[in-house]
Amino acid sequence: MVKVLFFARLRQQLGREETILADFSGSLGDLRETLCEQHPDWRPHLQREDIRMALNHALANTGDRVRAGDEVAFFPPVTGG
Amino acid sequence: MVKVLFFARLRQQLGREETILADFSGSLGDLRETLCEQHPDWRPHLQREDIRMALNHALANTGDRVRAGDEVAFFPPVTGG
Amino acid sequence: MEAVDRIAVCETPLDVAGEYAALQGSSGDGACALFVGNVRDFNAGRDVCGLALEHYPGMTEKSLQGIISDARSRWPLGRVTIVHRVGPMQINDEIVFVGVTSPHRQAAFAACQYIMDRLKTEATFWKHETISDQSGNTLQRWIEARASDAAEMEKWSAG
Amino acid sequence: MEAVDRIAVCETPLDVAGEYAALQGSSGDGACALFVGNVRDFNAGRDVCGLALEHYPGMTEKSLQGIISDARSRWPLGRVTIVHRVGPMQINDEIVFVGVTSPHRQAAFAACQYIMDRLKTEATFWKHETISDQSGNTLQRWIEARASDAAEMEKWSAG
């Protein structure tokens, strides 16, 4: 099971703050493609060039391996401070 | 009349915090030389290379003109903050 | 010099005086540099009525801890405090407090600025504003990241 | 952004919380950078029991005003506060508070650091320490100016 979180503008665009992939194996890029196939209306939002990805609370890239129990997140550029 | 002030280590070395030159006319360098002639034991302290001079609350040089009513000061490098 | 970190993400108003007192208290360091950011009343040409921040619990704290560790590897630091507010807030409310003590003034300044620059570009906070337009309507708007913040980070890589 | 200067030379303990509150209060600026310097308990290899500062009344305030004016000509600043303590003080007492507000974080940091660098090399304050040697005797010693402070000023001329 992989937990996927969405934040800020992206959370509002997708209309939800998390989704669960019960049985996933592959790279972070594969995971994003899986989500886009399940929810075609998410694709323009998830594939925006400025969307960041995190794996277990650290910034990550499409090539990073996702394992069962991992926490993945997608979010726009940060704007704190 | 020109009022001359001394600060910090220099004040302690000269044993006084101010002196008055009743009738002086000349440059700041002349003024220092006048003090050294009146007080030969001040010379090594007043002529130290690191001693700063101020004229009317602004840093000044030996060539600056001193006029009646001016306030002159001699002091070591500052160490505030 | 006593190395103590304090990282807090809170929904309540920042207590700048209290944070400063705790930071400086027994640090023994000669220099203390602080930064406080607060809600401006004007942004990109419209009036801001209020602002709210969300964050990514867990990742936020981890990224702030990483930033402090990197700062400590660059400069001799005593205490370091980062407190960031989240949730709804008002104009002039304090959003972020960063405080650093060091035996050296330049190190305190540099570390405080470094921490703010990295926080701005890496820590997982997102702001949205409530703005009122000229007809008096209010709307929510997510703040866009600024290219200037990313540019500021570049200077730390060059050195 | 409201341009207000506050310059104070005082014999009483610094009220950092009060100075911050007054500075930030109604500035309307998004960024506030602060520096606080205090009495270290160790300097040049001997224990410091206490410290005293003298200054040149009149020239001190004039030089601080000149430093603030120059900072304002370099960066967009809101409020600027410099408070410097004089007279006898103890270890960990605060000696100097510099606070700057600005719409821009980088300007606030740069101006705060610039003011401290110039204050260190120009403002007419002199410190002397009471130190105890290994046999337990105490003596007075005037602090020597540090070449590193003059070197820090160089970087502002280069720019």
**pLDDT confidence of C42, banded at 50, 70, 90?**
low
A18 touches chain C (CB under 8 A): no
pLDDT on residue C158: 67
Q: What is the mean pLDDT of residues A55-75?
A: 97
Question: At which residue do the structure tokens 């003596």 appear?
Answer: D139
Among B9, B12, B55, B79, the strongest candidate for a mutation testing the D interface, having the largest count of D CBs within 10 A, is B79
Structure tokens at A13: 């665009």
pLDDT of D44 > 80? The answer is no
Reported as a single tens digit per residue, the pLDDT across B5-63 is: 999 999 999 999 999 999 999 999 999 999 999 999 999 999 999 999 999 999 999 99
Q: Where are the alpha helices (DSSP H) in C40-99?
A: 59-74
d(CA D129, CA C26): 20
Q: Chain D residues with CB inside 8 Å of B59's CB?
A: 122
Q: What is the mean pLDDT of residues C74-84?
A: 97
pLDDT of D1 > 80? The answer is no
Q: What is the mean pLDDT of residues A35-57?
A: 97
pLDDT of C132 > 90? The answer is no
Query: Considering only CA atoms, which of C39, C57, C46, C55 is closest in space to residue C141?
Result: C46
Tell me if there are at least 3 CB pairs under 8 Å linking chains A and B: no
Structure tokens at C51: 């602002």
pLDDT of C45 > 70? The answer is no
d(CA C128, CA C50): 9
pLDDT of D139 > 90? The answer is no
Q: What is the mean pLDDT of residues C122-146?
A: 87
Residue percentage of chain C with pLDDT more than 90: 65
pLDDT on residue D64: 98
Tell me which residue in D32, D36, D41 faces C36 most closely, judged by beta carbons. D32
Q: Chain D residues with CB inside 8 Å of C31's CB?
A: 35-37
pLDDT of C47 > 80? The answer is no
pLDDT on residue D43: 55
What does D23-35 look like in DSSP terms, one character per residue?
HHTTT--SEEEEE
pLDDT on residue B18: 98
Look at C20 and D16 and tell me if their CB atoms are within 8 Å: yes
- The model carries a pTM of 0.93
Q: Which helix (H) or strand (E) holds B31?
A: helix B28-38
ipTM (interface predicted TM): 0.92
Q: Where are the alpha helices (DSSP H) in D1-159?
A: 16-24, 59-74, 105-122, 147-158
Q: Chain B residues with CB inside 8 Å of D123's CB?
A: 78, 80-81
pLDDT of D35 > 80? The answer is yes
pLDDT of D155 > 60? The answer is yes
Give me chain D's average pLDDT, please: 90
Reported as a single tens digit per residue, the pLDDT across B3-14 is: 999 999 999 999
Which chains would you list as touching A if contact means 3+ CB atom pairs under 8 Å? C
D155 touches chain C (CB under 8 A): no
Closest chain D residue by Cα to residue B12: D142
pLDDT of A52 > 70? The answer is yes
d(CA D26, CA D159): 32
**pLDDT confidence of C81, banded at 50, 70, 90?**
very high
Residue percentage of chain D with pLDDT more than 90: 65
d(CA D130, CA D119): 23
Residues constituting chain D: 159
Tell me which residue in A5, A57, A76 faces C126 most closely, judged by beta carbons. A76
**pLDDT confidence of D153, banded at 50, 70, 90?**
confident
Look at B81 and D142 and tell me if their CB atoms are within 8 Å: no
Look at A7 and C120 and tell me if their CB atoms are within 8 Å: no
Give the HSE-up count for residue C83: Cα atoms under 13 Å, Cβ half-sphere. 21
pLDDT on residue C70: 98
**Better-predicted residue by pLDDT, C93 or C147:** C93
Reported as a single tens digit per residue, the pLDDT across D77-110 is: 999 999 999 999 988 899 999 999 999 999 999 9
pLDDT on residue A3: 98
Dihedral of the alpha carbons of A22, A27, A29, A35, in degrees to the nearest 10: -10
Residue percentage of chain B with pLDDT more than 90: 99
B46 φ/ψ angles, rounded to the nearest 5 degrees: -70, -25
Q: Based on the number of CB atoms within 10 Å of its own CB, is B67 exposed (0-12), middle (13-18) or buried (19 or more)? A: exposed
Closest chain B residue by Cα to residue D39: B81
pLDDT on residue C157: 82
Tell me if there are at least 3 CB pairs under 8 Å linking chains D and B: yes
Look at D21 and C21 and tell me if their CB atoms are within 8 Å: no
- CA angle, D9 then D93 then D117, to 5°: 60
Q: Which residues contact C148 (CB under 8 A, 6 or more apart)?
A: none
Q: Chain B residues with CB inside 8 Å of D122's CB?
A: 59, 78
d(CA D111, CA D103): 12
Look at C28 and D116 and tell me if their CB atoms are within 8 Å: no
Between chain A and chain C, the number of residue pairs with CB atoms below 8 A apart is 70
pLDDT on residue C153: 84
C153 touches chain D (CB under 8 A): no
